[in-house]
Amino acid sequence: MIRRLGAALVLTVTAVVALASPAWAHVEIEPAEAVAGATESLTFSVAYEGSATTGLVVQLPEGASVSEVPAKAGWTSAVDEAEHTVSWTGGSAAADDTFSVVVVLPTTPGEVLFPTIQQTVAGEVAWIGEEEGEDHGSNPAPRLTLVADPTATTSTTEASTTTTEATTTTDELPGTTLEAEQRDDGSTSAAPWLIGSAIVALIAVALGGTFLKRRADRAQEDGSGDGGDAGPGNGGDAL
């Protein structure tokens, strides 16, 4: 009788361990951290806990998309864009195994979940829990922490600096232009008018002098002619 109770107890403990073992193992993502918006190769690690894995279905978080599914010997992969999932079927893993996929990650930093269904010869295990825990009742979903891209922050800062320098240079231009206009309004602008006026005055003086000289010459010629005519006339009257 005691032997029968002992055998029954052993069978009961074995059954409990077999059912509970999938809850002890986790499906984990490597790497655990990635840059938001980057294209990253993610590896889902599945532990063997006494029941061979025959399939894996992973649901992507909002804002993520599959870029590529590397070939895995003995397995067939498929991407369902409508369901937002990637899956592997047709194989059997009686040991720890990994499944890789290249994903374009969401652009918002934070923690994102990849709910996963592990198919085994004993049934399915749903790794979909939102809370991460180690107890038997928690089947946490694989999760990934997204961080901001430090390169994007640096580029933005450099662009701002460049814009500021360009603005400063532009602000100096109106002052330079204004100074040029002021110089044009001063002596530089008046010089052509003064030179032109002096040339006109010299031409006028030259023309006036020439005219007066010619007039004087004509008057002298006219005077000489009148004297010649009077001589003979006066002499005739005297005779």
What is the per-residue pLDDT across 41-82, written as a single tens digit (0 to 9) for each?
A: 999 999 998 899 999 999 999 999 999 999 999 999 999 999
With a pLDDT cut of 70, the percent of the chain lying above it is: 51
Higher-pLDDT residue of 143, 222: 143
pLDDT of residue 59: 98
The whole-angstrom separation of Cα 17 and Cα 68 is 37
Residues 119 and 192 in one domain: no
pLDDT of residue 152: 75
pLDDT of residue 111: 97
Residues 180 and 194 in one domain: no
**Residue 140 belongs to what domain range?**
21-148
The whole-angstrom separation of Cα 142 and Cα 129 is 9
Confidence of residue 26 (pLDDT cuts 50, 70, 90): confident
| Residue 34's CATH number | 2.60.40.2230
Residues 210 and 140 in one domain: no
Most confident listed range (9-13, 204-208, 219-223): 219-223
pLDDT of residue 138: 74
- Catalogue the long-range contacts made by 19-24 (C-beta closer than 8 Å, 24 or more residues apart): 20/136, 21/49, 21/50, 21/51, 22/49, 22/51, 22/118, 22/120, 22/125, 22/139, 23/125, 23/136, 23/137, 23/138, 23/139, 24/49, 24/136
Over the stretch 105-148, which tens digit does the pLDDT of each residue have? 999 999 999 999 999 999 999 999 998 766 556 799 999 999 99
Residues 170 and 221 in one domain: no
Q: Is residue 178 pLDDT above 70, yes or no?
A: no
pTM, entire model = 0.56
Q: Which pairing describes strands 33-35 and 143-147: parallel, antiparallel, or unpaired?
A: parallel
Residues 116 and 195 in one domain: no
Residues 116 and 169 in one domain: no
| Alpha helices (H) along 101-186 | 150-185
56 DSSP β-pair partners: 88, 118
How many domains is the chain partitioned into structurally?
A: 3
Confidence of residue 233 (pLDDT cuts 50, 70, 90): very low
pLDDT of residue 131: 86
* Residue at a domain's end among 148, 169, 197: 148
59 DSSP β-pair partners: 85
Residues 27 and 143 in one domain: yes
Could you count the other beta carbons within 10 Å of the beta carbon of residue 76? 12
pLDDT of residue 203: 64
The whole-angstrom separation of Cα 165 and Cα 183 is 28
Residue 197 is assigned to a structural domain of this protein: yes
DSSP-assigned letter for residue 116: E
Average pLDDT of the chain is: 73
